[in-house]
Structure 1
């Protein structure tokens, strides 16, 4: 034991840290994220994946909008929908996942009232006619009259904003102010609300909020069944629907011990007590049945047209929601990144009725801590004494037993016992013991590799690790070649794609481009949105840095063209990129602030490379290289594009388009290159007539080349407006 004392101490320290997290003395964000991931995995593994036809979603979909008109519909249409559902189809209860917050003026009644009070104030016939028409034109009153006495639950929402507005009328609270005085309650408290018109709320009577609890990762795993607003307490839409289904049953909250936090919500009815487990914020875990469409969807227009068979809806719970683009309330959930908000309520209602909502009672923390303590002490003491093979078997057995016990509680008892801290403890203790000797023996080499591994490709790290003393992250001046690439018209491209497809496209594109940089010994500096910055020649010296950078640029253009066909097959747009290359002395090293650093490059040569990329579209070429890069590659052929003075630099530089290895360039292209060079000499000599003639011959060979059209415009301008006597043929760019 004395020999393994350091390992035992480190193991106990790990156990102490994880026990502190599990007991909420402190929280480690990574473990919380892992716990959410494991919770989501258990939900996906255990969900039935079947359709629950007890709850039907009447959908305001594109078909309904096409048949009835754009949203919002007149309240007379909503009234007819409610009447159809209750009277014709005999549904059990209706819940609205929409808010009727604004008066409906679509009938024109407001305009007629103004005319009656102004222009036709004395016209008795008009006044009588208007009073006779008023009941048919007051759509809000029609809806209110329809709601009265029918099993309808309206929806509304609360707001966390400090200066949140208070719109509409809230329903009567389920518990008045002061109901839980002296209790250790921690209900969510809200600042404002957006509710329904008073006459609609008073007519319906029942209503519930549809605010989910959004976790830090943006996922909706819980819904607060009871929330607090101005010391009164209000119920969720799902709970209100269930209570209305059970005959406006009474509600009570369960505090297991005097002063203890809430652990359940009880719904009392003639059939007994429906107990719903909640956490200390009165949040209920949503028992997701499966991915989207786990409940029947029916178009609202089909209900209004009577196109649905009565048995489809009779006795069912109906939730009215929207799936039409622009109306749909989308959520991130454990079972889908784009999930209809109305189905969150449907899942919760189904879980309440089927008693499938998981519980997280307070005593589970004690069970978790005891389990962690037993497993931790066992592994801390035994792992240092075992061979690697036996230690692996012990760790695997601990993982299997812990996971099995956890899943048994989940599936058999409906309890959600935290899993991440215990699993992480087992893995950390195993990794600590297995890697102890390895890290001690190779500490210096590994420290170096870990340091540089954040910034450079693994292939170069392996090469550097052979002689770590030769490398340093301290800033130094070095001649490097820098590459900038950027997708053209990316803003327009991204606006035409949904977020998931855009993410997939960018991942495939950046993955392919990054692989090319690494394959050619480049260092990937950073991604700047859709742009890529890389450099060659550091941290590992590369005398051929210009050649490797240009080879990468040419390969990037080739691969982008190859991606066009598979992208087109998936309905994605074809990409076009511009690339700027420049070689020069820059400062390279670990730069940044104490909060964040990066191994990067700075200097005029870097700025010029960025400017060259931005002007590729001006000259209609894919790649622009600087003069210094071109001078290092004698076996390549280049077309000189111009001599430019970019913003921030007074000295002009020549810029070039690479055509490829001279030995591989077709003879006709080399001939066109010679003719182009002759044109440039005539152009810079201000021989406009001969230059225009030479350019005309070039355009006949390649009429679509943007470069020729650009110079045609320049020659025409200079011919009509001769330049000053000191004109040097340099093009100045004032923008970046």
Structure 2
């Protein structure tokens, strides 16, 4: 069994690890990750990032102005942010064409002043404190894959440095349509290596964080929030601070108001990094996040793209990135978990094992949630599957093993003891030591009087018919009293009371069975007369010997054939007492030990001190004639 359990644990962990590496657990891991974010709710932390939102109210203030011509308002907003002490502003809106360039397509000279429409906006770009965004339509391996801001704006950047002033707005959308992870560099290293132009490569949040830390955007690694991050590190889970609306959002029209520089909410932006973007539903920049999903597959609570970027930027500034244990520790943890499951449920009842499984899953979720709040991501789907596989494996081994054990015990005892005794043996959880164990029992021996004379006057077939008919009747009271029919020896039967299940009243049971057996023999005498009339057969009767004492129970025999039986002096003496019944002229003869064990309820007839073959010391025996049970008497 230990080897089977160890193999079960190793197989469970290997299967779970293979399923995880094959990506077959990704769906459940995503759902569990979503659940962890939802259970966490809104996390209380000092926000270093703020959002200036182009919301429905701001759009309503300027209903006749297309978004293309909002650059003058954006310039005012950025200037006022700089005045209140905002170090950097990230514009999460892509202007691939400028108003000046668009107006020029309608004809030169038709719109006086059009050439200077974006002057203020370009001045903000020239300050280096306003960062733009670009996007990709392909892998990023070719220049044509990039959708860049208008050349009018790129030319206004300090030193025409796109990598230091333009970030990528691309979000990493997973297979189920949710945004859970981010990359510092949305374009993979292999694709970037194919480019000759100095194109943007950092995401907008990463660019803002690196610029705010005063580090080189062209480096391959940075120290952000006290943590070392690599340019091409794997995608990391976005540690969302909470559901949509968690970040402080200042409507753009508040920043454009005449009294904006005296507005407490505007002044509260001092020292923060600001993302300026669209939150209005009509501007189509909304995404599904972990707070959008439910276990039924529904979607709700869209989050604006600018707030997703704000969560990433805040995580980089805090240095709070969710970490996953290394693979070796994950495998070690699965092994320990599986071994704990095996040890805990190995000896529990089946119903308790089911409860332990459910409790284990609940504790696993609770542990995962606690570690999640501390910044660790446990592979809960893999752990839950390993726990379940170990549980089912142990339960399967137990059920099949117990079923085999039940069948073995039924095969061993089912023909010789009652079904109630078998069930009691199985329910007790104790198993007889087949190699031999000492146990106190009462042994009953019974044989048919004058069997030799009877068998001489019957044919062999009739003898077998008689024995089968008699033993069918005789076994009923013996089994009813919990007796274990050890063996049939010709016309004799050997029965133990108190084996294989110990019984405290084995002597009383044996005496009741003996009295019932005597009654059966008296009734069977009538059957003999009816079945074999005119054969001049001796009267049918039995002799019964009883003795209580210690016997040795175990498997006796050869490797070819073995049987579970009782041996010892107690068995021999019971057999000798059965043989003395005819000599003493009584039907039931019990030793003094049996009478003392049964108590004062036994009605005895004559008593003798006799010597039996094989014993030097004489023994006292009693004729049993009845057994009182309160007001009821068997006689």
User: Taking structure 2 as the reference length, what is the TM-score of the superposition?
Assistant: 0.52
Match of 1:356 in 2: 320
Counterpart of 1:145 in structure 2 is 123
* 1:157 aligned residue: 135
Cα pair distance change 1:8/1:246, threshold 3 Å? closer
Unaligned runs of 5+ in 2: 293-299, 403-635
Hey, what's the Cα distance between the residues in 2 that align with 1:394 and 1:224? 40
The residue that corresponds to 1:174 in the other structure is: none
Match of 1:84?
80
The CA deviation at 1:421 is 0.6
Paired residue secondary structure (1:199): helix
Q: CA distance change for structure 1 residues 323 and 51 in 2, over 3 Å: closer, same or farther?
A: farther
User: Alpha-carbon deviation of 1:290?
Assistant: 1.0
Which residue is equivalent to 2:303?
339
Q: Secondary structure at the match of 1:72?
A: helix
1:245 to 212, 224, 238: 212
CA distance in 2, matches of 1:39, 1:295: 21
**Which residue does the alignment assign to 1:425?**
386
Contact 2:223/2:229 (CA < 8 Å) preserved in 1? no
Residue 401 and residue 302 in structure 1: after superposition, are their counterparts in 2 closer, same or farther (change >3 A)?
Answer: closer
Q: Is the 8 A contact 1:97 1:154 kept in 2?
A: yes
- Contact 2:72–2:120, Cα closer than 8 Å, also in 1: yes
Write out per-residue CA displacement over residues 597-651 of structure 1, whole angstroms, 9 at most, x where no aligned residue: xxxxxxxxxxxxxxxxxxxxxxxxxxxxxxxxxxxxxxxxxxxxxxxxxxxxxxx
Q: SS at the partner of 2:51?
A: strand
Would you say 1:326 and 2:282 are equivalent positions? yes
2:245 pairs with 284, 293, 296, which one?
A: 293
User: 1:172 maps to which residue?
Assistant: none
1:307–1:313: structure 2 CA closer, same or farther, 3 Å change rule? farther
CA contact (8 A) 2:9 2:335 kept: no
Partners of 1:151 and 1:244 within 8 A in 2: no
Aligned equivalents of 1:164, 1:193: Cα separation in 2: 8
- Three-state SS of the structure 1 residue aligned to 2:180 is strand
Task: Describe the superposition over 1:40-63 as per-residue Cα deviations: whole angstroms up to 9, x where unpaired.
Answer: 222333354448553221111222
Structure 1 pair 108–220 and aligned structure 2 pair: CA distance change class (3 A): closer
Structure 1 CA distance for aligned equivalents of residues 101 and 222 of structure 2? 43
Whether the aligned pair in 2 keeps the contact of 1:376 and 1:425 (CA below 8 Å) is yes
For structure 1, the 5+ residue unaligned runs are 116-129, 167-191, 254-264, 442-736
**Residue aligning to 2:377:** 416
- In 2, Cα distance between equivalents of 1:240 and 1:384: 55
Deviation of 1:323 (Å): 1.9
SS in 2 for 1:56: strand
Which residue number corresponds to residue 268 of structure 2?
A: 312
**In 1, are the aligned partners of 2:140 and 2:192 still within 8 Å (CA)?**
no
- Structure 1 residues 278 and 289: alpha-carbon distance in aligned structure 2, compared to 1, 3 A threshold: farther
Q: Report the Cα distance in structure 2 between the residues aligned to 1:291 and 1:251, rounded to whole angstroms.
A: 33
Distance 1:150 1:376 in 2: 57
Other structure's SS at 1:429 match:
helix
Among candidates 187, 195, 202, match of residue 235 of structure 1: 202
Tell me what 1:187 maps to: none
Shift of 1:235: 0.8
Query: Which structure 2 residues correspond to residues 98-117 of structure 1 after superposition, within 5 A?
Result: 98-105=93-100, 108-113=103-108
Match of 2:172 in 1: 213
How far does the alpha carbon of each residue in 1:430-470 deviate from its partner, in whole angstroms, 9 at most, with x for none? Answer: 245557899999xxxxxxxxxxxxxxxxxxxxxxxxxxxxx
CA contact (8 A) 2:68 2:99 kept: no
Aligned residue number for residue 93 of structure 1 = 88
Instruction: Please give the secondary structure, in 1, of the residue aligned with 2:68.
Output: coil
Aligned mates of 2:81, 2:388 — CA distance in 1: 56
Matched position secondary structure for 1:335: helix
CA distance in 2, matches of 1:416, 1:157: 30
CA change 1:110–1:276 in 2 (3 A) is: same
Please show how residues 208-607 of structure 1 align to structure 2 within 5 Å.
208-226=167-185, 227-228=187-188, 229-231=191-193, 234-247=201-214, 249=216, 252-253=219-220, 265-267=221-223, 274-275=226-227, 281-308=233-260, 309=263, 310-336=266-292, 337=300, 338-360=302-324, 364-379=326-341, 383=345, 385-392=347-354, 394-395=356-357, 398-399=360-361, 402-403=364-365, 406-407=368-369, 409-412=371-374, 414-431=375-392, 433-434=394-395
Which residue in the other structure is 1:571 paired with?
none
CA RMSD for the aligned pairs? Answer: 3.7
Q: 1:283 to 1:385 in 2, by over 3 A?
A: same
Task: Find the aligned partners of 1:288 and 1:208 in 2 and give their Cα distance.
Answer: 21
Q: Which is greater in Rg?
A: 2
> Could you say which residue in structure 1 is the equivalent of 2:592?
none
Distance 2:45 2:13 in 1: 44
Q: CA deviation at 1:224?
A: 0.8
**Corresponding residue number in structure 1 for 2:537:** none
Q: Residue 399 of structure 1: CA displacement?
A: 4.0
Structure 1 residues 374-413: Cα deviation after superposition (integer angstroms, max 9, x where no partner): 332454577455421443465456546655654454333x
The answer to whether 1:32 aligns with 2:40 is no
CA gap 1:315/1:109 in 2 versus in 1, 3 angstroms: same
- 1:176-187 matches, within 5 Å, as none
Q: 4+ residue stretches of structure 1 with deviation over 6 A? A: 7-11, 161-165, 435-441
By how many angstroms is 1:248 displaced?
5.1
Whether contact under 8 Å (1:74, 1:139) holds in the other structure is no
Q: 1:109 to 1:248 in 2, by over 3 A?
A: farther
Spell out, residue by residue over 1:185-221, the C-alpha distance to the aligned partner (whole angstroms, 9 max, x if none).
xxxxxxx121112331343341211212222222111
